[in-house]
Structure 1
Amino acid sequence: MPFGPASILGVERFSQECEAPLELIPGDDNEKKEAIVRAVYKQVLGNAYVMESERQVVAESQFKLGEVSVREFVRSIAKSDLYRTRFFDSCTRYRYIELAFRHLLGRAPVDFEDMRTHAERLDASGYEADIDSFLDCDEYQNSFGEWTVPFQRGWKTESCTTLQEFTWSFQLLRGNSSSSLKGNLAGNKSRLGGAAYQNRALPVVPPSSQDSQGWSFRPAANLTDPVTRIGVIAGEEGKIYRVECTAYRANDIRRVSRYRKANRVYFIPFNKLSEQYQRIHREGGKIASITPVS
């Protein structure tokens, strides 16, 4: 059992694991291919357990026979009913997006604009197109290429772009026993929450107790406090408002987004409300509710 900063912060898995990425090389035997299959399931499904009956046997066979690359095998798993049921249909929109960043690019989102781009793509083109956008982007190719299993970045392999991204990464992945399906009391809600809309870093807190073995993490006390601008006397101009919108339609195709009710949520400071109202109406949305964050 590790001791020191890695275990205290809940990232001991990355302190222990081999630094070399798992890559398929021409001539590798079936044992190596099977190890890659297990590694893809572990990464793409967020360390969640996969029953034998849930394995994607057709995609596995195509990969082992050399018909598809590691990247295309990852694509098959990410587009499967197994992944969609666990992380798309049963999760909020931004929970799915933050998980897709973790599972497919091995990092946390850099900022809210990083997430918003995918939210808009979901409305415009749908789920499978959004998965493709992760796997076909230059970042994926430069980081993993065609034959390397995606892995968690930003711990030993490279630095995070910003302090904000670094602190967000702790919200998405910590503890050997945690997974994308369990290990946090937030359930299937977004781990980044309002901090994503406000583009602010989150406190990095230790496991909830010394005996918890990483099963949950304490939320920072200030995450639920009313949010005001530092140095401003509490008042209307210092508050953050939650704006729920609906009626966004998919662009260029004759269908309505699956998000039929309040399908977008924004956290907006008071002095930006008017600007956001105009943007929402330009995009064809309707405001369902406006409430102060408290």
Structure 2
Amino acid sequence: MSILTASDILGTEPLELRPNYTEDDLQQIIRAVYRQVLGNQHLMEGDRLSSAEAQLRNGDITVRGFVRAVAQSSLYQSLFFHSASQYRFIELSFKHFLGRPPQSQEEVSEHVQIYNEGGYEAEINSYLDSDEYAQSFGENIVPYPRSIRSVVGLTNETFNRTFSLLRGPANNDSSNNNARLISSIAANLATPIKPIAVGNGANYDNTGKRFRIAFSSKQGAARINKFSCQERVISYDQMSKTVQSIHKSGGTILKITEVVS
């Protein structure tokens, strides 16, 4: 077994669509966007966004516009929104669009709120219209896992969490719909780098903390559009199972905070 290296992940330098590009250059950019935004998903010919590709070729949209088209597509929603938990969707959105994992529970909670108030489109646009995206990729650089290198403003822990999300070039992001980082982010614990063949990198020592999960839940079939806000105090060991249970019952996690004695 071997540890994934930065060169295994990036392979090449960041790709930019420059003026006077050739058709080969354009196709390389298009393939890179699909690979990054769709999480290394195998793409059938019929899945390609031919209209958006034509707009990019004609100069009607930039690479950022093409990324947005892929992210707003029914294909992206079917792979990462409808079939995954809310936390998994958010952590993958950070990976796909900003090239890094979430850094804190506050950051995750902020995106839960954006989705709850504005819906799917607003949540996607919150990444693509952010200052961070503009400063990192501009209009014509394909997003890439930038946090495997030293980046100003990102903690060293971001590096470890990025490796936990990537898990090697042979994997695709739709193969596991469970959130991988929720426990370490909520508990503010380190995420160890582990060999690719061993689990998902989520192995921690600190099990003594307790956490309060605030969530909304449906009140029953007779009042399907009515939601109630609830709280549950759990141990660290119960975190993953509790989160999965809430999501499976149709609930939405609003906030996770540590209980301080």
TM-score (norm 2): 0.81
Alpha-carbon deviation of 1:161? Answer: 1.6
- Corresponding letter in the other structure for 1:65: N
Alpha-carbon deviation of 1:200? Answer: 1.8
SS at structure 1 position matched to 2:84:
coil
The one-character-per-residue Cα deviations of 1:135-164 (angstroms, maximum 9, x if unpaired) are: 111111111101111111022463672132
Written as runs of structure 1 = structure 2, the 5 A alignment for 1:60-209 is 60-156=53-149, 158=151, 161-182=154-175, 187-208=176-197
Extract unaligned runs of 5+ from structure 2: 219-224, 228-246
Alpha carbons of structure 1 residues 29 and 116: separation in structure 2 relative to 1, 3 Å: same
Counterpart-to-counterpart distance in 2, 1:17 and 1:218: 22
Counterpart-to-counterpart distance in 1, 2:73 and 2:226: 23
Alpha-carbon deviation of 1:181? Answer: 1.9
Alpha carbons of structure 1 residues 16 and 244: separation in structure 2 relative to 1, 3 Å: closer
Counterpart-to-counterpart distance in 2, 1:33 and 1:256: 48
- Corresponding letter in the other structure for 2:196: P
SS at structure 2 position matched to 1:264:
strand
Structure 2 partner of 1:11: 5
Alpha-carbon deviation of 1:247? Answer: 5.3
The one-character-per-residue Cα deviations of 1:82-103 (angstroms, maximum 9, x if unpaired) are: 0011001111001000000000
Counterpart-to-counterpart distance in 1, 2:95 and 2:141: 16
The answer as to 2:236 corresponding to 1:220 is no
Alpha-carbon deviation of 1:15? Answer: 6.3
Counterpart-to-counterpart distance in 2, 1:126 and 1:266: 18
The answer as to 2:45 corresponding to 1:52 is yes
SS at structure 1 position matched to 2:215:
strand
- Corresponding letter in the other structure for 2:52: A
- Corresponding letter in the other structure for 2:24: E
SS at structure 2 position matched to 1:246:
strand
TM-score (norm 1): 0.72
Alpha-carbon deviation of 1:242? Answer: 5.2
Task: Indicate the RMSD between aligned Cα atoms, in angstroms.
Answer: 2.6
Contact preservation (8 Å) 2:37, 2:96: yes
Counterpart-to-counterpart distance in 2, 1:15 and 1:205: 15
Counterpart-to-counterpart distance in 2, 1:32 and 1:9: 32
SS at structure 2 position matched to 1:27:
coil
The one-character-per-residue Cα deviations of 1:171-229 (angstroms, maximum 9, x if unpaired) are: 111212122123xxxx20100122221222212211336xxxxxx5464264xxx721x
Counterpart-to-counterpart distance in 1, 2:123 and 2:4: 30
Work out which of the two has the higher radius of gyration on C-alpha atoms and give 1 or 2. 1
Corresponding pairs, count? 235
Counterpart-to-counterpart distance in 1, 2:94 and 2:10: 23
Counterpart-to-counterpart distance in 2, 1:99 and 1:16: 17
Contact preservation (8 Å) 1:10, 1:207: yes
- Corresponding letter in the other structure for 2:3: L
Alpha-carbon deviation of 1:270? Answer: 3.5
SS at structure 1 position matched to 2:173:
coil
Percent identity between the aligned chains?
35
Counterpart-to-counterpart distance in 2, 1:109 and 1:267: 14
- Corresponding letter in the other structure for 1:17: G
Alpha-carbon deviation of 1:66? Answer: 1.3
Whose relative contact order is higher, 1 or 2, with alpha carbons under 8 Å and at least 6 apart? Answer: 2
Alpha-carbon deviation of 1:269? Answer: 3.6
Counterpart-to-counterpart distance in 1, 2:36 and 2:109: 23
SS at structure 2 position matched to 1:8:
coil
Structure 1 partner of 2:237: none
Contact preservation (8 Å) 1:11, 1:174: no
Alpha carbons of structure 1 residues 15 and 267: separation in structure 2 relative to 1, 3 Å: closer
Counterpart-to-counterpart distance in 2, 1:147 and 1:108: 22
More deviation, 54-63/195-204: 195-204
